[in-house]
Every structure is written in structure tokens, then in C-alpha cells.
Structure 1
Amino acid sequence: MRLLFEVTGVVHAPMEVVRARMFADAGESGPHRLVDREQGVIAYWGDWWYRGEDSLHFHPDGTLLRHRVHNIARQGNWAPYLANKLFIGYRAKLEAAMRERVRLFETPD
């Protein structure tokens, strides 16, 4: 498993509040999904190369939300780069998505 991207954002809210929101409709673990409420991790993966992980961590200003993208291809681990056009612009999309997620987590219900 090779880490390709990691983006983080600080949610200015207590860990308990962020955890409750993150897991509100997370469902349960399954064949392509891990839901670990105790550890504060949700992971999802495909059949070929992709594994995404969202995790929560303590931060002095609230809660650190971390999103990681891993290449889990066992063979041809170079192929995701070609299939995803060398990931050009991918980090910018992840960072924009993280900013939006932080905004949503900070928005009162």
C-alpha cells in the first residue's frame, strides 16, 4: 500500500461533535468498507488500486480531519498514474473537497 495523497483540515469543533457528524450515516463495515467508530476511521476501497481513508485526530484548535489516498494495486501499481492522467489536478480537487468538508462540519445543524 503506497500513500499517494494526504490532505488535512482543522474543524473548529470538539472531537465528539465531529465524530458524531462523520459517523451519523456511515453505516457498517462491509466488503469494500471499514467503519471503525472507536478509532475514528472510515476507509473505502475498490477492486483494483484505490483506498481512501478518513480519520479524526485531536488538534489544539478542535479536530484534525485527515484524508489519505493509497495505491493498493498488487500488480501494475504504475497503471493508476496512467489511468488517472498522472493525477494532474487531483491534489487541488482533494484540497477543495477538504475545505468544503471542514465548512460543513463547522456549520451548526
Structure 2
Amino acid sequence: MTERLQREIAEVRKEVDSLGVRLTLAQAWVGFLNFAYDALLHNGVNYRSLKEYSNSTELDDAQKLPLSEARNKIVGWLERLQSAISAAVRRKNFKVHEHDPKGK
């Protein structure tokens, strides 16, 4: 192969990798938004009020990383946020039952 063709192939591969990362991030974000919407709709939990959401320093850090490393950091942040939403739903549905030993 000529040198020019090899450079073009390398550029195309780089672009394909970039598009793959962007697709993964888009899928993760849409999945998260669907999960968050259901939590809000059925349980009254607004994910934007959670401290895990407002702490976006990880997203700021991700902007400074190479694309594939940024993907890992963003997907990890989304997973932790989804876990925080699940915990908020459990807290919201937690009911305190008082024990009445006299049976009243």
C-alpha cells in the first residue's frame, strides 16, 4: 500500500473509533434519562436534586481526557447517578412502622 493510502485508512479507523465512543455515550445517556424519567414519574424522585447530579466535576475532568478515557469516566458517572436514584426511590418508599405491644 502506498503511504497516502495507509494514512487515509488510519484516519478512517480513528474516526470510526470516535463515532463508536460517541454512540456508546449517547446510548448510556438515553438509557439513564429513561430510568430517571420513570423514577420521577412513579416515585416523585427528581434526579436533578441529587448531590451526585450537581457534582459535575467528573464531567469537567472528562473533557480534558482522550475520548475513550472520557467515555469510561462519563459512563461511570451515569452508573453512580443511577444508583443514587435507586437509593432515593428506596428512601422515598421506606415506611416506618411503629410496634404497638398492646395491640392497639
Name the TM-score class by shorter chain: 0.3 to 0.5
Which of the two has greater helix per residue? 2
Query: Highest CA radius of gyration, 1 or 2?
Result: 2
Point out the structure with the larger strand share.
1
